[in-house]
Homo-oligomer: A and B are copies of this chain.
């Protein structure tokens, strides 16, 4: 039988808590090559839900799924100078097949811009029809010095979208549409509030003109980049000679975007909603919305029948559920449901059966309610909405409470030391960002608009070091 071990309290040791939760909730275990994961059924189910939601959005936007090779010839990746500089140290390199040396080294894709560039070039020459809107679900490989489950792994799953447009404004607009979609999905389905902004030049994707990002705040106050969307301009089209015939029948370089989210989101989910009992999965993406736990079932044969009937009824209303009829102890069954993060559990014992009622317990607040069996479906549907909203509100509250506007470097350092997000007027150079990173451990997360920001910001203010007036505000934080 599976054993449940104690989870380290998150306030005591956040990193240890994170790994304990992942292990106990059976989300992943370690693969044999450094930094690789066996993504287990419970972890994969979360990713599957994210895929379903995104595929729905892609379909609405007429984005088509494709699958391109994971293998990139060395000569290809070297065509875009900034791009290769960004990825070269992380590239896994194939030099042989069996014992035989290959004539040219092959890299495992760390991302697929160069492959899509090659594809688009041929495709447009054949059809000359723009835009082209493609997405790929795949694994990518990046050799990282230090790894952390879901957050930074040698291999991970993601989707990478790649689009081609006939002018820069359409491409820019599309890059923005995608970051807004990411915000929508992450907030609505994963119940994780995010800040939307642009990356500074230092943090920009290798090869992009603009990188839009959504940044979330984990329970320990650190930032997690949860999704990015890049306006690539003509960087790749010029290097790969991707042209189309414009209205005047002239050849012109195309404008591109790329955008992605990854299994990092599972890490974000754990570190946003998890607690000392395990993970909490928002109902909107839970594989099982309800665990039905039967107590003393072996002594009461009618109980099993009643529970299976209840399970069928929930099925009929598309309320996914899982029944625990095992002869494990009551305490174990409850702890197991809690560690797995099922949004609601229903407890039924012999006395409940007699009273035609069940006990409903929400995972987020642990609140218990006795509900007549006849009202269970309505009650649950209402409860899922409450849980989804509560998870989001809790996280939003934490974010709002822990983000501060500062106007000098002393306060900046204090706030970072308190594990907060800091917003500051900032029109400085890359050098100053590096100085901040060295002195405080914080990196710039994104440039934000002072309009409608999560906390009030002035119209303009003096830049952190230079003192020059600016309306450019940047969020800094320690990050994953």
Contacts and interface: CB of A to CB of B under 8 A. Distances in A.
A469 interface: no
A139 B141 contact: no
B89 A93 contact: no
A352 interface: no
Contact of A93 (B2, B95, B138, B139): B95
Interface string A69-100: 11111001000000000001111111111100
A41 B115 contact: no
A125 to B, nearest CB: 11
A31 B69 CA distance: 7
A468 interface: no
Nearest to A30: B122
B92 A94 contact: yes
A132 B202 CA distance: 47
Integer count of this chain's copies in the complex = 2
B71 A141 contact: yes
A155 B119 contact: no
B93 A97 contact: yes
Chain A facing B: main interface SS: mixed
A258 B93 CA distance: 29
A47 B65 CA distance: 10
Contacts of A94: 92-95, 108
A139 B108 CA distance: 13
Interface stretch (A32-40, A302-310, A377-385): A32-40
A279 interface: no
A134 B48 CA distance: 15
Given A1-B128, A98-B88, A36 B93 contact: no
Most buried by B among A36, A71, A96, A157: A71
A393 B39 CA distance: 42
Contacts of A128: 1
B90 A31 contact: no
Contact of A32 (B33, B64, B118): B118
A106 interface: yes
Nearest to A93: B96
A119 B71 contact: no
A67 B43 CA distance: 9
Contact of A29 (B2, B73, B122, B141): B122
B33 A71 contact: yes
Contacts of A157: 67
Contact of A129 (B2, B95, B108, B154): B2
A73 B122 contact: no
A91 B95 contact: no
Nearest to A67: B39
A115 B32 contact: yes
B115 A31 contact: yes
Contacts of A89: 97-98
A150 to B, nearest CB: 12
Contacts of A32: 69, 71-73, 76, 115, 118
A66 B93 contact: no
A247 interface: no
Contacts of A332: none
A296 interface: no
A88 B99 CA distance: 9
A36 B94 CA distance: 15
Interface in A1-47: 1-3, 29, 31-33, 36-41, 44-45, 47
Interface in A113-127: 115, 118-119, 122-123, 126-127
29 contacts: A2-B126, A32-B69, A32-B73, A32-B76, A33-B106, A36-B69, A39-B66, A39-B67, A39-B68, A40-B66, A41-B65, A44-B65, A69-B155, A70-B70, A70-B155, A71-B141, A71-B155, A89-B97, A89-B98, A90-B98, A92-B96, A92-B97, A93-B97, A93-B98, A94-B94, A94-B108, A97-B143, A98-B143, A138-B139
Leading 8 A-B pairs by shortest Cβ distance: A41-B64, A36-B69, A93-B96, A39-B67, A31-B69, A97-B143, A33-B71, A89-B98
Given A69-B154, A88-B98, 10 more contacts: A32-B71, A32-B72, A33-B69, A36-B69, A36-B71, A40-B66, A44-B66, A70-B70, A71-B154, A92-B97
Interface of A: 1-3, 29, 31-33, 36-41, 44-45, 47-48, 64-73, 76, 88-98, 106, 108, 115, 118-119, 122-123, 126-129, 134, 138-139, 141, 143, 154-155, 157
